[in-house]
């Protein structure tokens, strides 16, 4: 593990020589996360279903590896970590960002839909973390898993009914704590970011509606949604040695939504 206690705090946020895998990287927050990690010095592997978008992003990031993969298919879950390690020889940072949602009354949600959402949002992060940990455990240095949960894993919402999404993100929050507890002395830190309202493909409908925008402004004490760059600091903190004494924690980045 890094033991440098010098007085250059910015250096501890760097990821030079590290290898990072980001899921759901073909658009939105995942694309941003890949760019931020690359800018911080990491070698980046990116995975998502949409091949053309993924390869376009990889072309922007020198040395990046694009892995087309559908995380809803359990038989594909081993590939992202295996191909990352195969290409770069190791994995140091896993960002479990990929996610799907369903909006509708719980009494009407099809069981198959509920199962798909839980599979992508909870089962896939577990399997990916499991495979990443197997590569990290036993090495002299440490690694970091950053799960992208949601404030809806911490509180209910109701007005925008998303039972499967809330359940999967709540599960991811406590999976974060459990994996952190199990792997703390094995060189693997596990933490989570819990974003509030950020504009993405998943939230487009809400942001395009004036009533939705008013809902966000009323509910967030800061009175606005988040900007994509406002997750950069949380990501780099949890991915890097800047958080070397932090594990099992969930960091809300939600404009104060969960504080009131």
Report, as residue numbers or ranges, the catalytic residues.
165
Question: Per the structure block, which two tokens stand in for 217?
Answer: 């402004």
Question: Per the structure block, which two tokens stand in for 238?
Answer: 């949890």
What is the torsional sign of CA 186, 172, 225, 27?
positive
Q: For the packed helices 124-136 and 79-88, what is the interaxial angle rounded to 10 degrees?
A: 30
Give the strand pairing for 43-48 and 143-148: unpaired
Contacts of 152 by beta carbon, 8 Å cutoff, 6+ apart: 162, 165, 166, 169, 170
Report the 10 Å Cβ neighbour count for 83: 17
Question: Per the structure block, which two tokens stand in for 60?
Answer: 């922007």
């Amino acid at each position: 593990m890094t033991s440098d206690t010098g007085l250059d705090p910015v250096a501890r946020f760097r990821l030079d020589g590290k290898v990072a895998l980001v899921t759901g990287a073909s658009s939105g927050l995942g694309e941003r996360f890949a760019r931020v990690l690359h800018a911080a010095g990491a070698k980046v592997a990116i995975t998502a279903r949409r091949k053309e978008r993924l390869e376009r992003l990889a072309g922007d990031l020198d040395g990046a590896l694009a892995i087309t993969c559908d995380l809803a298919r359990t038989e594909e879950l081993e590939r992202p970590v295996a191909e990352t390690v195969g290409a770069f020889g190791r994995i140091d940072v896993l960002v479990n960002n990929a996610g799907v949602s369903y909006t509708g009354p719980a009494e009407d949600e099809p069981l198959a839909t509920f199962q798909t959402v839980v599979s992508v949002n909870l089962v896939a992060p577990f399997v990916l973390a499991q495979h990443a940990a197997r590569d990290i455990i036993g090495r002299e240095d440490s690694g970091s898993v950053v799960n992208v949960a949601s404030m809806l894993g911490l509180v209910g919402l109701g007005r925008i009914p998303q039972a499967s999404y809330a359940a999967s993100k709540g599960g991811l929050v406590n999976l974060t704590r459990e994996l952190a507890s199990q792997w703390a002395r094995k060189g693997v830190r596990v933490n989570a970011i819990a974003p509030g309202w950020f504009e993405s493909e998943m939230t487009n409908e809400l942001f395009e509606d004036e009533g939705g925008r008013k809902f966000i402004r009323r509910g967030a004490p800061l009175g606005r949604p988040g900007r994509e760059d406002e997750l950069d600091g949380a990501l780099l903190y949890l991915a890097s040695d800047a958080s070397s004494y932090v594990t099992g924690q969930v960091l809300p980045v939600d404009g104060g939504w969960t504080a009131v």
